[in-house]
Structure 1
Amino acid sequence: MRSSEVLLDGLGRVADNVHAVLDGATSELLNKAPAPGANTIAWLVWHLTRVQDSHVADVAGADEVWVTGWWVDRFGLPFSPGEIGYGQSTDEAARVIVDDAGLLREYYDATHAVSVDYIGALTDCDLDRIVDRNWDPPVTLGVRLISVIDDDTQHIGQAAYVRGLLS
């Protein structure tokens, strides 16, 4: 098995879980926090998708699906197009209101498809390329992609937990 196939398997598991969390989710379920200051399913899925989209676009030298697919306009969130949710305050996160689980799923699926195309074309040698020298040690492409998968799995797990609490 090639390294890219392992990465693709991880992303595939995230995709399966995103679909499971969103399947049949109502607007109320998407936008309800289980406790004051807690994140909603809508924010968690939007954020994990934005992180994947922005990070993969960055390492691929491509534009984000969020902008090229007009998702920024379709969501109509009160943030700049570059916002991914990292470091947002509780009040900012609460402004992520999404009334249609299908919209979240479609944006995730579009991002996932671009990610799969990019990662599927990588060789093992590609994964050693340094993509961020702001860290010590510098971050390789392989490490960055693992970070994306790790972030995604944490947030989709949180979304599944929130759904369980509220259902």
Structure 2
Amino acid sequence: MNVADLLTDGFSRVQGSVHAAVEGLTAEQLGARLDDEANSIAWLVWHLTRVQDDHVAGVAGTEQVWTSQDWLTRFGLPFPAGDTGYGHRPADVEAVRVEAELLTGYYDAVHEQTLKYVQGLDGQALDRVVDEAWDPPVTLGVRLVSVVDDDIQHAGQAQFVRGVLERR
């Protein structure tokens, strides 16, 4: 297995988890929160997708799918275009009320863009430093693994919330 295949597999696992968490739910179910401080499925999936979009576009040197394919307007959220959800408060989480098809549509568009990028990578590419603001500096390999890790954790959280909601 080469690097491109490994990354494709990792990001594809995220896609499967996102679809499993979202499909078949109503906007009301997607926006439900287990308590006033908890994240909803809609917010978790929106956030993980925004982070993937932001981080992959950043290392690929491309425009984010959020703006290039006008998902920003389709979602109609009260956040600035560059917002990825970091630092959101409960009221911000509550604002993410969308249909399942919108969430999975945006995720799938980001996934497609991500796979286009990672398919061109080889092992040497992963050593390129992409962020010198950290000590040690962050390489492309570390950044991509970080995105997969963050995304799969949030997708798992969304699946957990779904499981609790289905038992209520």
TM-score by length of 1: 0.97
What's the counterpart of residue 45 of structure 2? 45
| Cα deviation, residue 150, structure 1 | 0.5
Deviation readout 1:111-153 (Å, 9 max, x if unpaired) = 0000000001111111100000001110000000000001100
Which runs of 5 or more residues in structure 1 are unaligned? none
Q: Which runs of 4+ in 1 moved over 3 A?
A: none
| Cα deviation, residue 20, structure 1 | 1.1
Which runs of 5 or more residues in structure 2 are unaligned? none
Alignment of 1:59-98 (within 5 A): 59-98=59-98
SS in 2 for 1:55: helix
What's the counterpart of residue 127 of structure 1? 126
Contact 2:28 2:97 in 1 (8 A): no
State which drifts further: 87-96 or 44-53: 87-96
Q: Which amino acid aligns with 2:150?
A: D
CA distance in 1, matches of 2:19, 2:152: 13
How many percent of aligned residue pairs carry the same amino acid?
54
Query: How many residues are treated as equivalent by the alignment?
Result: 166
Deviation readout 1:4-40 (Å, 9 max, x if unpaired) = 2111111010001111111101111101101121000
SS in 1 for 2:130: strand
| Cα deviation, residue 96, structure 1 | 1.3
Contact 2:31 2:40 in 1 (8 A): yes
Deviation readout 1:74-123 (Å, 9 max, x if unpaired) = 0000000000001111222221111x100100000000000000001111
Q: Which amino acid aligns with 1:56?
A: V
State which drifts further: 110-119 or 4-13: 4-13
TM-score by length of 2: 0.97
- What's the C-alpha RMSD, in Å, of the aligned pairs? 0.7
Alignment of 1:106-117 (within 5 A): 106-117=105-116
